[in-house]
Amino acid sequence: MTDPIVPEVTSLDEIYPQQALLSQGERWNELAVEFKRLYGQLPDFVSRAPGRVNIIGEHIDYMLYEVLPMAVAVDLLIAVAASPTPDGEEPSVQIANLSSAKFTAKAFAVPREGHVEIDSEDHHWTNYFKCGTRGALQLLREKGWTGTPTSLKVLVHGTIPTGAGLSSSAAFTCASALAVLTANGQAEVKKEELVNLAIVSERFVGVNSGGMDQTASVFGAKDSALHVSFAPKLKATQFSFPKTDPPLNFLIAQTYVQADKKTTAPIHYNLRVVETTLAAEVLAKKLGVGPLPSDNGPLGSTLSGLQSKYFEREGSDAPSVVQQLQTLLDVVRQNLDREDGYTKAEIADILQTTVEDLMGKYMTRFPVRAEKFQLRSRALHVYSESLRVNKFADLMMNAPENASSSYLEALGQLMNESQESCRDLFDCSCPELDQLCDIARKSGSVGSRLTGAGWGGCSVHLVPEDKVARVEAAMKEQYYREKAPRVLGSEEAWREAVVVSKPGSGAVVFRGLV
């Protein structure tokens, strides 16, 4: 089977559902008009990548465990005009944003050789385009390309709310890399290559990202969610939602608490990557299983790798994946017994290394801040969340025809348990997320949880179709009237806060913008 290619399209109905074509047509026309005003010409093409919502499987992708996301309709567009760089001149990028008051324009040089420099301490929005540029050019050179990078004129327009947990950063990185590859003559872009380079590229801004967000953005498909696995290699399998009575809907609700993954990384996201990695290393040492295999985790070893190492001695007699995960939960409880956490000195002592070497290996490229590292609770979350993903996928892919309300409740219970684990074991929820989930459940949602990194951003709710109106009404009165009253002013504002989502299509290159 050939590797799937990022599609090239010439019509918006190849991207969006019928009911969205009018509004999207107006938006794309606005992009073209502003591009011509800024640069005196129409773009050669537009690269497009969507945001995503994760149905279940939070903070386990970077431990190489399977997740269940779907692409959503909100997206990021990058209009591009490319021109050959004259001899003697340095390639350059001029980049602007349709929301110019919030995102100021910038220009930067692209070295003919070597890498685009990215200052991770400078949080300018264009860093994500630089990340995509750096990754794309590196991939081209690895393939033997020796050309001079083209100079680009770029205009960006996004509808993915920043800090909302719908992965605007991954969409931006994917769309940027796709734009640079296309502008420099890559006629066909393999989806897997784009995902892998985007995962690595986003780390240049200082976020130790996994791979779920990029995979959902690139592999997404209309009317299908994704079952994404990362080991032994990236694989994204599309699956349709089962028919149920009443039909199921996924409602996505913003907290309006901004979750800035980059600026809070040392105490939130990056710290969790370090804690889960160290949990794997400490368990390996305590269990005497030998060195963990080097894998594609951000820090080179993972709890998934520990699972493989722990059960490899049993060979073909190893228990099922579900049984393995249940066993590992008991292993964690028995061997990571410090419920109040471990200091750097204590971890270094277990691993038979020095604090300096420990920090150099795990805490230097992506600095973190913590007095104690919560290895026990983080590992318990990862293994129990992976167990829930397995159960959820099994229910989804083996659904009875015209499944009943009890089937929906079984799916919802797994989502509710995921939220409890994110809140209590992984400490990545917040009071606003907890409140929205509580309101939704009491008014008709069968399952409610945070989606994305957490600490703010969005929540996702599994709501039977006949309960959607009641859940929305409760959210309006009990949450948004106090926390974000502006969203009650119009239907358009409301649909930015709360959307009933269908799976959307993934990344594309669009030609023919006039």
pLDDT above 60 (res 153): yes
Dihedral of CA atoms 486, 488, 491, 493 in degrees, nearest 10, equals 20
3, 213, 245, 349: the active-site residue: 213
pLDDT above 50 (res 486): yes
Percent of the chain with pLDDT over 90: 68
Q: Report d(CA 502, CA 225) in Å as an integer.
A: 9
| Structure confidence by residue, pLDDT tens digits, 333-374 | 999 999 999 999 999 999 999 999 999 999 988 889 999 999
Contact 55, 250 (CB under 8 A): yes
Q: Is 213 a catalytic residue?
A: yes
Name the DSSP letter for residue 190. B
- DSSP SS3 for 247: coil
* Neighbour count for residue 352 (Cβ, 10 Å): 7
pLDDT of residue 260: 64
pLDDT above 70 (res 261): no
The secondary structure element, H or E, covering residue 79 is strand 68-83
Average pLDDT, the chain: 91
- Domains defined for the chain, CATH in brackets: 8-240+504-510 (3.30.230.10)
Q: Report d(CA 314, CA 292) in Å as an integer.
A: 17
pLDDT of residue 3: 77
Percent of the chain with pLDDT over 70: 96
Contact 402, 245 (CB under 8 A): yes
0.85 exceeded by pTM: yes
CA–CA–CA angle 409, 444, 225 (5° rounding): 55
pLDDT of residue 393: 93
Average pLDDT for 467-479: 97
pLDDT above 60 (res 1): no
Q: Report d(CA 273, CA 299) in Å as an integer.
A: 8
State the pairing for strand pair 458-464/447-451: antiparallel
CA–CA–CA angle 261, 263, 265 (5° rounding): 60
From residue 45, give the alpha-carbon distance in Å to each of 109, 134, 216: 21, 20, 22
Contact 240, 198 (CB under 8 A): no
Q: How confident is the model at residue 165 (pLDDT cuts 50, 70, 90)?
A: low
Contact 332, 380 (CB under 8 A): yes
| Structure confidence by residue, pLDDT tens digits, 414-461 | 999 999 999 999 999 999 999 999 999 999 999 999 998 899 989 999
| Structure confidence by residue, pLDDT tens digits, 267-291 | 998 999 999 999 999 999 999 999 9
Token representation of residue 97: 């944003």
Contact 216, 237 (CB under 8 A): no
pLDDT above 70 (res 164): no
Q: Report d(CA 197, CA 192) in Å as an integer.
A: 9
Name the DSSP letter for residue 477. I
Q: Report d(CA 90, CA 112) in Å as an integer.
A: 7
